Every structure is written in structure tokens, then in C-alpha cells.
Structure 1
């Protein structure tokens, strides 16, 4: 077992006013909030802010770091009369177009991609796991690829957008798929193949720079990591920490499989996309295809099976106790989308949903 498989998590949040409307305070909060451990970043939309955890060695460290960063951002928003909201799409209808962060790169994106840029107010959760090298990372991505829909189901947290119920647990996934460089990555035989595809996408104009490679698993250009990007920002930090633990364990198992010559689960891209759609619609409360695409099973049952299968790896990485102590409550909760819909059901008022998803300072 590689004991140097450190992990980190990035979370994107929406900022709203007291009445729930999107607020343009994102750049001010990112630029002026203290960062004792971790990093704050501007995002495409002024109503967003991103928090990146420090480098962690256990899921408990991830949870501590994310809880601290959420609290600091919530207090910074409150000082400016706003609120930090852990939802992956805006809940209430907006009266004006999305206001972009005034940076040259974001202006270029708006000019080049037009209306697609208006999907920039979606909020994701990205898990980074340290890589031994980029060539190995390409092979690991093929092993992670079949599990992407299950992680989407676990974290789905965007049933409402612009004042309406979309009928999906993760509307963010549907919106984000509009970007031409998004979606599950192809299966590559080498790093050269990976880089050739990236170069071709840049030549086509589907990306303006390498930072716009939006595959749901990619090699990070900023860190020596593989990055899973399929998750919605989660309603509770414990879900993000659980996802981080499971992704890291899958990376560790992939390394063992690669060393032993075991191939990844083969799943055609069209089947994987169908599984994405089902996971986005149903979320944690419903069903999705198994990683091999052969059957439809409840997401909760698949997650329990995955934890059982990964138990020796989780133990070796020091995360077994964390998963054992949190798994039941996380899975029984039904997920972030259910939490939002339950809040709406009480009085049929979307303002209650906003209140439910506000992060406490």
C-alpha cells in the first residue's frame, strides 16, 4: 500500500443576500478572508467562492479542514450581510444575467462560449489524490471512470434551479455537460495519447486553455494529483470527506491492479453517459447502473458494497473507523437533494430551502 497517497478537496459555494438572491461578493471574500490552512480562490461567477483544503492524510483531517473553511467563509459572508449556501445550483429565480468575475480569462470565456457561460453558477466538489507520476495517472483514470456515476449519486445536491424543481437530484450535472470539454474521460493507453487529445481540443477551440479541461477525471496541471470532478458540492462536509476517502481507496486499489496487470472495468462511453443521466436524476435516494453497466441497483446498496470491497484498503489508509462511524447516517439521510426537497415540503416555500442549505458560521 502506497502510504504517500495524500488527499485534498476543493469546494465551490454560492453567496446570497439575506433574501436569497445571488450576491456579487465572491471576489471580495476570496481576496480578504484569512487562510490559515487551505486556499481560497475566485470563480467564474461573482456569486461564487472556492475553498481548497490543505493536504490531508486521513478522511478525518479532510472533514476538519472543510468544516473550518466553511465556517470561515460563512462568517466572512455574514460580515458583508450575506450568506454562504452549500447547494450546487441557485435555488431562487434571478432577476438579471449572471455577473462574471472581472478577470481577462473569464471575459474571454464569456465572449467565446456565449450562453454556456451562464451555467457558471454551478458548484462542484473536486477530490485530489497524489500521483506517483502522470503516466500512471492516465491508467488510474481508466480504473476510476466506471465509478463516476456512483459518486455523482452520493453527492447529488441540486434539485432546484431558478425557482423550480428540475425533476433531477443533480441539475448541476445536466448544466455542466453543456461545456464541450466536459464529461467522462476517454480510455487512454498512454500519457502521449492523453496529451494528444488535450492538444486537439485546444486547437478546436473547445477549450481556451488547459484549465478548461473539464473531464470528470483529469490530471491536475497545478498539483501532482489525479482529480475527480464529478461531485456536486455537498450539503454536509462529512459527505465530501467520505467521498475523498473512497476516491483515495479506489486510487490505491487501482495502483495494485496496475501492478498486478488487472485491467479496469470496461464500460462503453454511451453506457457510462446513460448511467450519468440516471445518477443525476435519482441521486442517493434512487438507483443507478452498476459500474459494468449490466444491472440497475439502488445507489445506497452499491455504496455499501463498495465500502465492503474496499475495507482492507480503507484500513491500510487509516480511514476504516471514519467510514464505519459515518456511513450509516450519510446513506440513511437520502442525500442533499432529499434534504432540499424535504425543506420545501414543509411549507412549499423555496426560501425555506435556501435557509436549510445556509452554512453556519
Structure 2
């Protein structure tokens, strides 16, 4: 497994800083690894550009255990912040910028083409996510994982929620990033694909439609990576705390293992059945909206019944579902402990709102988040 994290680049006063080119230039100058000069390096170790000049992306090397992954995440955050400081900025693990902002598309042909094609959607697109990669044997195994984890993606979103503010005010959502992100034509939940050939045919049809530039613009909540032999789960906000990023990684890997184990035991069984077949995409869209709206502070839709219940009960359903896989990886106690912390103390969105209540200053929220990013 591995993790990609997107971060805001912010000036010392807490405002977005359009310095990604300078940050990347500094990072490339000091990067000692040969992989940094490869055209398509494996995930890990290097900083990469994102769509806007006010953000940057890091990634980890593939890891087999959470301690190694934690070290890679912290190293990536530290390296990104060091290069940002060189450009007079810092990194902040927030999924949206709280204040009123405008942003600038990165200077490359692909990004400018996307900007021209998508107009205001592209102009307003300044959000940061967390992407978890889990290795799979082939496309068919990857689709087994994709189809199985569909009902659980809203819970992953709720656990990661870290974007309550948008353009100078409280959005009323725990994850407003997800609402902005879902403006893209390929974003969001998908129906079951069934097999790898069907998945690849769907992606090829989307590219042939001329609506998207390439297969990298397939922005499903979870997809087969266009670059690596992995399932890439993209539903989460970037997490304020490293331990919450690890929680996402542990849960995604456990969902993948559960999918593979259950498919091997009964290949014809859907991941969740309630007498009506697979959970419908319409239901997943509603469940994702609820997760984005209230995070863990309200109700979520139970993946098993489709009915609203307290968020803690849905989190408990997820934990019970993946507990055998977590135990097999040696992650169960760590995940249980972190889930307890998040349910008691709240998500990144809850912390941002608490900081704002203290200072009545959205830029101060960003400064606090920047410090917490490196803790």
C-alpha cells in the first residue's frame, strides 16, 4: 500500500501562495534519488505538481506495514514543507482554503487545456485529497476490490472530513471538498463493473467521448490506477493528522483483503446483499452526501440497511466488517484506538471549526493547520 497526499501552499499569514513552480524546482535540486529523474517513477519520495500553483502533492513508497508508511508520510510532509519554506511558504493539510481566494492553473499544456474546457469548474478547483493505493494482482482482482468497497466509501469520507470552510464562510459541510470535486463529470460513485474488461471498456469510452482529456481524468471515488498495478481509493479529504491518513490506509487495505477473501469463498456473492442485490449507485450518492454534510457528528446511512443511524454505529459496522483482515495484518488494535480518538475528539473539520471559534480568524485556522501538519 501507499499514500498520495495533496497539500495547500500557504504564506506565513495563512493565505494561499502561488509558489508551486519554485517549490518543485527546489525539491528537484536537492532530490538525491535517481527515481526523481525517471519519467514515471514509482510512488514515493518525490514531490509532484498538482492542478494549481497553490498546491503540491507528496507520495510514499509502497509499504507493507503501518509504521513504515507513517515514516514515509512524515518524511514526505517534512520534505514538502522544507521546499515550501525555501519559497517563502508552508504546507497545510487542509482540503479547502477557508478564506476568499482565487487560484492559478499550473503552467503546463494539459492543465491549461483542462482549464479552458471546464471553465468555472476548473477556476474554482482548489481542493486537496488523500489517495490510498493498494496493490492487486491484475485488473480482475482490482475490480473485485472496487465492487466490494463501494458501499464503504462514504464512511471513509466521513472519517477524513477536513474542509468545513469555503470562500470565507462556513459551508455547513464537514467535507465541502467533496461537493466541489463532484462537479467534474467523472467524479463520484460508480456501479459495479463485474470484471476488468468491463472497467477498461468504460474508461476507454469516457476518453473517446472527448469530454475528458485522458484516463487520468477518470475521477471515480475508487479506480484502477492508470499508472500502477493498484486500486486507488480517492474519496478522502487530505487528513490533518498523520494518524488519520494511516487510518485511511489501514481501512482501505483491509477492505481490499476482505473483498479478495470473500470473493475466493463465494465468487458470485456481492459484497453486501439485502435481498435486492448490489447497493445502487443512487443510494451511494445519497450516502456520500450525508457523509460530506455532517462527517461523524450526525447520522450516516448504514451500508447494510440503507437507513440513517448514528455515525458511530456505521463506523462500528465498518470495523466489524474488516476486523479479520485488520487482525491478519496486525493493525486491529491500532485502528480500534484511532477510531476511538476520532469519534471522541472529532475530525479535522471539527478541529478547524473549534480553532475558528477561538479566534474568529480564518487565516489563523490555516496557520494552526500548518503547524499540525508537521506534528
Q: TM-score band (shorter)?
A: over 0.9
Report the counterpart of residue 19 of structure 2 in structure 1. Answer: 25
Superposed, 1:20-99 pairs within 5 Å as 20-33=14-27, 34=30, 38-94=45-101, 97-99=102-104
Cα pair 2:162 2:348 within 8 Å, conserved: yes
Residues 49-99 of structure 1: CA distance to partner in whole angstroms, max 9, x if unpaired? 0000111111222222112211222222223221211110111112xx421
Q: What SS class does the counterpart of residue 296 from structure 2 fall into? A: helix
2:8 paired with 1:14: yes
Give, in whole Å, the separation in 2 of the partners of 1:325 and 1:301.
16
Residues 248-301 of structure 1: CA distance to partner in whole angstroms, max 9, x if unpaired? 001001001111113222211111101111000001222210113522122233
Q: What SS class does the counterpart of residue 354 from structure 2 fall into? A: helix
CA RMSD of superposed structures (Å): 1.6
TM-score (norm 2): 0.90
Structure 1 unaligned blocks of 5 or more? 1-6
Cα offset for 1:219?
A: 0.2
2:281 paired with 1:269: yes
Cα pair 1:181 1:206 within 8 Å, conserved: no
Distance 1:304 1:60, change over 3 A: farther
TM-score (norm 1): 0.93
Superposed, 1:1-361 pairs within 5 Å as 7-33=1-27, 34=30, 38-94=45-101, 97-261=102-266, 262-265=269-272, 266-358=278-370, 359-360=373-374
**Runs of at least 4 residues of structure 1 off by over 3 A?**
34-37
Cα pair 1:59 1:322 within 8 Å, conserved: no
Give, in whole Å, the separation in 1 of the partners of 2:298 and 2:124.
25
Cα offset for 1:159?
A: 0.4
Give, in whole Å, the separation in 2 of the partners of 1:331 and 1:70.
25
Cα offset for 1:19?
A: 1.8
Distance 1:174 1:241, change over 3 A: same
Q: Say how many residue pairs are matched.
A: 353
Structure 2 unaligned blocks of 5 or more? 34-43, 273-277
